[in-house]
């Protein structure tokens, strides 16, 4: 069966890691017709718009995207491309699995980390409602709605049920933001009632950060509003070996975009040093979403096998290989499994 998908290489290390992920997907034998769209800092500045309409049209057509990171220009007052894309397409659930990989040295040698972050992706302080009330006084409005809170909670609990996961922890600051985070929690509790087999608990975000660093193995699924999800994602990436490893999905009712947690990493762009693991695992999530379950499994197993061997790893995880050498090792593993 053949599929259509939108491919957004992005910029910085984006073109390098997307090319690597596409090679891995192609090695599985799944036939994907890619619609390639250029969305990067240069395009945004030249066209003076964050979201060229042909990109939105392409994703509406294909329903699925694989995306590299895109740099948000600092000058010019442009909103974040990524926030704009998620909002324009109503990709309300940001799903980020954080797992220990064999052979990656971290501070946690004796525990296995396997958690998934479910981050509300469309509102909170990312609503972009900032203004200067009087000179030198700025407000930034945090928007939390019942509709968005219920649907992300429903998504996380449904995922737990369908995938046999045991526990969901809501992360919040409702002791201070009583109305906004209070609403988020009330919605999560309401949804939890429909899933008695899933253990539900709550942690204040500061305590959650400490617990995550001290006992990451105790966490299963984490449910949170947008900003905490953004910050906690990078924190948890650090627990398992860094941003080069953690994939993600932005899921809506009908559309989905798969992308790594990391950004465009300008410090290593164009040097062949980027670790494409995060985008390969994002591609694995994309294949699962497309119903290509066997191919997804093969891709995931191949990446893990390369880590188990430990010979062809990139510098960020203690190896000495380039993006291309790591990718060739993954492709070889995929071919071995056929």
- The structure tokens listed for 313 are 């790893």
State the catalytic residue, choosing from 11, 67, 126, 228: 126
Strands 130-134 and 249-251, by their bridges, are unpaired
259 lines the binding site for ligand NAI (CB under 6 A): yes
Does 166 qualify as catalytic in the annotation?
no
| CB of 180 or CB of 275, closer to ligand NAI | 275
Segment near ligand NAI (CB under 6 A), from 22-30, 66-74, 127-135, 161-169? 66-74
x/- mask, ligand NAI, residues 8-47, rule CB under 6 A, reads: -----x---x------------------------------
Region for residue 221 given its phi and psi (left: phi exceeds 0; alpha: psi -120 to 50; beta: otherwise): beta
x/- mask, ligand NAI, residues 80-119, rule CB under 6 A, reads: --x-------------------------------------
Sign of the dihedral through C-alpha 98, 100, 105, 106: positive
Relative orientation angle of helices 277-289 and 293-309, to the nearest 10 degrees: 160
| CB of 181 or CB of 229, closer to ligand NAI | 229
Does 126 qualify as catalytic in the annotation?
yes
How far apart are alpha carbons 49 and 38 in whole angstroms?
Answer: 13
Candidates 262, 298, 304, 312; binder of ligand NAI (CB under 6 A) is 262
265 lines the binding site for ligand NAI (CB under 6 A): yes
Does 206 qualify as catalytic in the annotation?
yes
Nearest residue to 259 (alpha-carbon basis) of 98, 45, 68, 59:
68
Cα 39 to the center of its chain, rounded Å: 18
Helices and strands of the chain, counted as H and E runs = 11, 12
Active site residue ranges: 126, 173, 206, 230
Which positions touch ligand NAI (CB under 6 A)?
13, 17, 69-72, 82, 243-244, 259, 262-268, 274-275, 278, 316
């Amino acid at each position: 069966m053949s599929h259509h998908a939108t491919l957004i290489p992005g910029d910085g290390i984006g073109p390098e890691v997307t090319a690597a992920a596409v090679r891995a997907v192609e090695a599985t034998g799944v036939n994907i017709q890619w619609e390639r769209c250029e969305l990067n800092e240069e395009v945004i500045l030249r066209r003076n718009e964050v979201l060229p309409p042909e990109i939105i049209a392409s994703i509406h057509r294909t329903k699925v995207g694989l995306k590299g990171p895109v740099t948000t220009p600092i000058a010019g007052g442009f909103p974040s491309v990524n926030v704009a894309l998620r909002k324009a397409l109503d990709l309300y659930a940001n799903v980020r699995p954080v797992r220990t990989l064999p052979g990656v040295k971290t501070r946690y040698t004796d525990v296995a980390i396997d958690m998934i972050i479910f981050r509300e992706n469309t509102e909170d302080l990312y609503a972009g409602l900032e203004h200067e009330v009087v000179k030198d006084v700025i407000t930034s409005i945090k928007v939390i709605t019942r509709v968005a809170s219920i649907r992300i909670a429903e998504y996380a609990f449904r995922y737990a049920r369908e995938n046999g996961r045991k526990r969901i922890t809501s992360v919040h600051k409702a002791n201070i933001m009583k109305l906004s985070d209070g609403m988020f929690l009330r919605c999560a509790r309401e949804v939890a009632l429909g899933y008695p087999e899933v253990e539900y608990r709550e942690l204040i975000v500061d305590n959650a950060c400490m617990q995550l660093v001290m006992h990451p193995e105790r966490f299963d699924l984490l449910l949170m509003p947008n900003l905490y999800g953004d910050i906690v994602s990078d924190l948890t990436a650090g627990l398992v070996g860094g941003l080069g490893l953690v994939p993600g999905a932005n899921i809506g009712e009908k559309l989905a975009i798969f992308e790594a947690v990391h950004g465009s990493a300008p410090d290593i762009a164009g040097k062949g040093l980027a670790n494409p693991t995060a985008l390969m695992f994002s591609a694995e999530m994309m294949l699962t979403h497309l119903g290509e379950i066997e191919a997804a499994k093969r891709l995931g197993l191949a990446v893990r096998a390369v880590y188990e061997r430990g010979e062809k790893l990139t510098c960020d995880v203690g190896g000495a290989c380039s993006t291309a050498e790591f990718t060739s090792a993954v492709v070889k593993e995929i071919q071995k499994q056929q």
